[in-house]
Structure 1
Amino acid sequence: MAQQVYDRLEFDAAAGRGGVRTIDLRVGTGPEGSWELVRAAPAGAPGSGVAGYRGYRLALHRPQRRLEVPSGLVTLLLEFGGSLRLGRVGRSLTGDPQAGWTRLDSLFAGLQTEPTVAEHDGRLCGIEVLLEPWLAYTVLGVGLHELHGVAVPVRDLLGWQGALLAERLAGTPRWSDRFALVDAFLLERVACGRPAAEQVVHAWRQVVRSGGDGCVGGLGAAVGWSERHLELRFREQIGLSPKRAARLLRLRHSLRLLEAGCPPARIAVACGFYDQAHYAREFKAMTGCTPAGLRQLRAMPERPVDRLPGRATSVLLRGRPANSARPESR
């Protein structure tokens, strides 16, 4: 029996406190089970720093494995049904060099500059909140340099508030009401949190606009700070130095062009790599694949896999044991 998929848009006027929320619901059923993916924007929350909400309910008959490439965003994952195994070969996302994998339910993941593999047993339900790093700094109240490349249980950062939010989400049946709970949570955290410095937000946006292709050496002067002071504050409130952030955003730019079908030589020039070999090395270091390998893996998804529409973030992996090497190209 072939997989059946249908889409539905809902308009939730009650959720927002600040407007009407559009909810994009996609449901699929087939031989492997059923799934439900829901996308929404914040309504009444600090929308300029929230890239989106993504709800999911998976009831599949076999374990699933995904490759996650760096997204340029901080992730708040609120699981209320099932848990994830996360890791990289030889090193876990918790930073423990002795363990390659770790099991987590609700978590925060800072900016990543390497590929991550996520596994679950086929049954999973939760909400993912994707945040600009400067807003995540306010929501969390900790320096984001402590979260670079790792994932931390929500309870370790938010204590009882994080546990209570996950518990309330689990007891709320409608997606619109769940998103409203997340809105209220973010509003409360932002109201009592420390905002990122305007200079840091401006510098981050400059690097984003450039796609990482440009000199970051003049950012300090542009915001009225010394380069050293900007680097320290940028690492604290973004999670990376300006130079490393530019490297990450150059990858994101190259992924957009790759998805559009651009040839590697053109991508290398457009994104400011020294040459095509430099592009290939950087791409593989940060995604675990060559450009051609990633394009092949993404060619025929069975269901929507990306964490944001129009942004290549994820690949479904097939037939790879949990302790296998990271996926490379063929």
Structure 2
Amino acid sequence: MSPRHEVVQVPPHPRLRPGVQIYRGFRIHAGHPRERLELPVGFVTLLLGFDQRITIGSVGTDLAADPVGAGSQTFTSLLAGMRTSSVIGVHSGSVHGIEVVMRPWAAYAMFGVPMHELTESLVDPSDVAGGAVRRLVDRLAEIPDWPTRFTELDRSLLHRVENGPTPAPRVLRAWDLLVGSAGATPISGLSRELGWSERQLERMFREQLGLAPKAAARVLRLQHALRLLVADRPLAEIASRAGFYDQSHLNREIRAATGMTPGAFLNRIRQAPTATARVDGTVTTLVLQA
């Protein structure tokens, strides 16, 4: 692999796990614009960019032709909360930085803001955490090697988590139950298990996770369906196992979330199996123009 085109993925410090899932360092020099589909997932993403800017827009937007149109946003670094639909990201072909993928409750502990403020949106992390993020990015960019960068990132994120709010144990329990069932646990069942009313459960989810319970369950069911799709399971089986009413319901959900039919999505994966990013088996990113 060229030293100017590399991806280095490592686990974070043990004390940050399991909330912080992975660090992914990257230095890409493709020589032409690169377009990616960012899928709805049960994670929050912190992108710490060292140089070039990335433009983000809704699915169906031709960012290559009109990078400033249709409500697009441009960032060097960004913080992306949970969302229920995909977005398109484009960069010039040269980009360098670190991506931090974390559970939503870990982002709540790290940034100390109500997570619903980040839901279905992307923001500059400096708008949430102030100048500390800019100073961290500057330090990371000056470090010449990935292991030392990751050590510095560990130190900074540990400080934030240890000085941030503690997620409620019942929120963590609810999230684990929902993730463990791939979104199939009924919300009424979660409420009974936790001893909260459904209104209390929704309020705590929105504060410490971002999405309301039903929306979070929908994202997790979609993830489950896409994992089965990539494993070449029949659509009827996927619909049944992932908790959809029928195959038509599955088709509508995948198209609504990704802008593609199940078949088109699977073809994209097959065409460029190495041009995808995965966390815990879930496809999080699909490169559309490599």
Q: TM-score over 0.5 for the alignment? A: yes
Return the alpha-carbon distance in structure 2 between the equivalents of residues 172 and 47 of structure 1: 24
Q: Deviation at 1:110?
A: 0.1
Select the structure of larger CA radius of gyration: 1
SS in 2 for 1:81: coil
For 1:289, the equivalent position in structure 2 comes to 260
For 2:96, the equivalent position in structure 1 comes to 125
For 1:16, the equivalent position in structure 2 comes to none
Q: How many positions carry a matched residue from both structures?
A: 283
Residues 36-90 of structure 1: CA distance to partner in whole angstroms, max 9, x if unpaired?
Answer: 0000001244111011110100112111101111121000000002110001158
For 2:148, the equivalent position in structure 1 comes to 177
**Which is richer in helix?**
2
SS in 2 for 1:217: helix
Residues 197-238 of structure 1: CA distance to partner in whole angstroms, max 9, x if unpaired?
Answer: 111111011100010123111212211222211110111111
Counterparts in 2 of 1:61-210, with a 5 A limit?
61-88=31-58, 99-210=70-181
Letter in 1 for 2:277: D
Return the alpha-carbon distance in structure 2 between the equivalents of residues 129 and 216 of structure 1: 29
For 1:247, the equivalent position in structure 2 comes to 218
Q: Which has the higher contact order (CA 8 A, sep 6+)?
A: 2
For 1:322, the equivalent position in structure 2 comes to none
Letter in 2 for 1:35: H
Return the alpha-carbon distance in structure 2 between the equivalents of residues 153 and 54 of structure 1: 19
Letter in 2 for 1:311: T
Counterparts in 2 of 1:266-305, with a 5 A limit?
266-301=237-272, 303-305=274-276
Any conservation in 2 of the 1:45–1:186 contact (CA below 8 Å)? no
Q: Deviation at 1:35?
A: 1.3
For 1:323, the equivalent position in structure 2 comes to none
Return the alpha-carbon distance in structure 2 between the equivalents of residues 313 and 289 of structure 1: 15
**TM-score, scaled relative to structure 2:** 0.93
**TM-score, scaled relative to structure 1:** 0.82
Any conservation in 1 of the 2:236–2:247 contact (CA below 8 Å)? yes
Runs (5+) with no aligned partner, structure 1 = 1-26, 92-97, 320-330
Return the alpha-carbon distance in structure 2 between the equivalents of residues 226 and 89 of structure 1: 36
Residues 247-269 of structure 1: CA distance to partner in whole angstroms, max 9, x if unpaired?
Answer: 00000101111111101111000
Alignment match of 2:189 (pick from 191, 195, 218): 218
Identity of aligned residues (%): 42
Residues 178-208 of structure 1: CA distance to partner in whole angstroms, max 9, x if unpaired?
Answer: 1111111111011110011111111011100
Letter in 2 for 1:287: T
Any conservation in 2 of the 1:138–1:190 contact (CA below 8 Å)? yes
Change (3 A) 1:49 1:264: same
Alignment match of 1:229 (pick from 186, 191, 200): 200
SS in 1 for 2:260: coil
Any conservation in 1 of the 2:83–2:211 contact (CA below 8 Å)? no
Return the alpha-carbon distance in structure 2 between the equivalents of residues 160 and 286 of structure 1: 34
Runs (5+) with no aligned partner, structure 2 = 62-68
SS in 2 for 1:205: helix
Any conservation in 2 of the 1:54–1:307 contact (CA below 8 Å)? no
Any conservation in 2 of the 1:220–1:230 contact (CA below 8 Å)? yes
Change (3 A) 1:120 1:307: farther
Any conservation in 2 of the 1:212–1:248 contact (CA below 8 Å)? yes
Alignment match of 1:53 (pick from 23, 29, 40): 23
Residues 81-118 of structure 1: CA distance to partner in whole angstroms, max 9, x if unpaired?
Answer: 21100011589xxxxxx842111011110002111100
